[in-house]
Amino acid sequence: MVDIQEILEKEGIKTYLDDKYLYDETPEFVRVEPSRDIVVVKPETTEEVSRIMKIASSRRIKVFIRGGGTGLSCGAVPTESGIVLSTEKMKEIEIDSENFCAVCGAGVTLGELIKKAESCGLSFPPHPGSEEATVGGMVSTNAGGVRAMKYGVMRNYVLGIVAVLPDGEIIRLGGKLIKNNAGYNLMHLLIGSEGTLAVITEITVRLLPPMQKTATLAIPFKSVDGAIQAVVEILRAGLMPLALEYIEKDAIEIGEGVSGRRWPPRDRANLMVIIEAGSENELIDQAEKIEKICKGFGASDIFLATGVREQRDLLMVRSLIYEGIKRDVLEILDVSVPVAAIPEYIKKCNEVAERMGFRVINYGHAGDGNIHQHPLKGKFKPEEYDNLKKEFFRIAKSLGGTITGEHGVGAVKKKELRELLPVTEYDLMVRIKRAFDPLNILNPGKVLDI
């Protein structure tokens, strides 16, 4: 067997051996078994990444890119002998206030970017979850989050990318431009490619003016239909909340147990609506309009939180739901369907789960149709869970949806992607992968079967 560590260190590349780089946050039940025959490298510059990729390409050594390790689909897990390329030391960050953008290394975390932007009187609105996630990882997975319905996903903020191709060549795509219509948009091809086409080393992201005042409404409904009909009407009325979350009663109770905070009155289906405006009067005006709409669809006991502490408590309950069930969860599914199809999707999935003997906790981003489902452990055979997941994905597709809205395919949804995508579309993806990476050395075993 090739001694990868010896090869790299002869070329002056420092290596590390550490088991923490073998896994990400994917639940144990579905995560793939990592290869332990790996060495870790931690380059600080694009040029260092280029050197590493040239060595890997010449020796046909597999390379797996790792950001913050917060992924949920085994996208960063090394599945073959090779190199884990961690971006954690790529920490350069520069704010360009005049052009409303930041240029940052792939290893800059979301928390670091937000803090730096705010220190310069600007903001970075997307918030796809853990602030330990890296900007490079967020771009590679086209991360979304609770604010996506108003402010968009990572794709909407990327202006430029510096990346290293599998053979070590450096490419610079985009820049600080708002418009760029010169040829095929290779930059957007890399966004969401999950590390299979190139190593993203530097990103230029858009920044916005400071965020405004916020208030949060907790709105209980007796039915999922009523809650989602209210969501559609809120959007139709031209009200664009910062976040519009759907949460089932069981999920709220789990979040309460972990956070130690209390949610206001709740019912079978609940909305958490975060609104944003320039003044208290504007917030109250928005809240009153949303209240009127929701009462028209059966809501009652609507709670409005305007204070920092009250809002923080509500968000904490929502944010810690997963913490309360992570030991019992089989997988975190994140299908995306048209907003109006959410009630039918949840109803059909619940019927399937009940018939097959599974308990599923549902919540998610009602404003953009991205539903998070948490099937829980129980007495069943692994193939029975595979059938449950396959049925959920089939239902999503039949309603015009897709199998993942923000977590990505990684290694855990490869089979389903191939089964559910049209053959022509899948084959085009394979041809793109081979055009970028003919030796299949970059994050092999992820997204596609090559």
CATH at residue 343: 3.30.70.2740
Looking at the fold, whether 386 and 403 belong to one and the same domain comes out as: yes
Looking at the fold, whether 80 and 150 belong to one and the same domain comes out as: no
Mean pLDDT of 356-381: 93
* 337 has a pLDDT exceeding 80: yes
Distance between CA 440 and CA 443 in Å, rounded? Answer: 8
Token pair 């005049």 is found at 98
Distance between CA 404 and CA 384 in Å, rounded? Answer: 21
In the chain, what is the straight-line distance between the N-terminal and C-terminal CA atoms, in Å?
Answer: 23
- Residue 363 backbone dihedrals phi, psi, to 5 degrees: -165, 175
Where residue 307 sits, what CATH number does that domain have? 3.30.70.2190
Given a contact cutoff of 8 angstroms between Cβ atoms, the answer to whether 243 and 274 are in contact is yes
* 274 has a pLDDT exceeding 90: yes
Looking at the fold, whether 78 and 112 belong to one and the same domain comes out as: no
Residues 170, 174, 178, CA angle at the centre, nearest 5°? 165
Looking at the fold, whether 99 and 189 belong to one and the same domain comes out as: yes
* 351 has a pLDDT exceeding 90: yes
Looking at the fold, whether 316 and 222 belong to one and the same domain comes out as: yes
Which residues constitute the domain of residue 379?
Answer: 328-408
* 1 has a pLDDT exceeding 70: no
Looking at the fold, whether 201 and 99 belong to one and the same domain comes out as: yes
Mean pLDDT of 339-362: 95
Where residue 43 sits, what CATH number does that domain have? 3.30.43.10
Length of the chain, please? 450
Task: Give a yes or no: residue 221 inside a domain.
Answer: yes
Tally of CB atoms within 10 A around 91: 15
> pLDDT by residue (tens digit) across 372-391?
999 999 888 888 999 999 99
Task: Supply the DSSP string of 120-150, one letter for each residue.
Answer: TT-B-----S-TTSBHHHHHHTT---TTHHH
- pLDDT for position 381: 85
Task: Give a yes or no: residue 413 inside a domain.
Answer: no
Looking at the fold, whether 230 and 149 belong to one and the same domain comes out as: no
Task: Give a yes or no: residue 217 inside a domain.
Answer: yes
Question: 56: helix, coil or strand?
Answer: helix
Token pair 């019912």 is found at 267
Question: 317: helix, coil or strand?
Answer: helix
Looking at the fold, whether 179 and 102 belong to one and the same domain comes out as: yes
Read off the tokens for 261.
Answer: 């905070």
Looking at the fold, whether 100 and 202 belong to one and the same domain comes out as: yes
Mean pLDDT of 157-182: 96
Looking at this protein, which amino acid is placed at residue 228?
A: I
What's the structural domain count of the chain? 4
Given a contact cutoff of 8 angstroms between Cβ atoms, the answer to whether 276 and 214 are in contact is yes
The alpha-helical segments, DSSP class H, found in 270-380 are 280-295, 308-319, 321-325, 342-356
Task: Give a yes or no: residue 434 inside a domain.
Answer: no
Looking at the fold, whether 102 and 190 belong to one and the same domain comes out as: yes
Question: 387: helix, coil or strand?
Answer: helix
- pLDDT for position 2: 66
Q: For residues 383-396, b (16+ Cβ closer than 10 Å) or e, as one string? A: eebeebbebbbbbb
Distance between CA 334 and CA 13 in Å, rounded? Answer: 39
Task: Give a yes or no: residue 431 inside a domain.
Answer: no
- pLDDT for position 394: 97
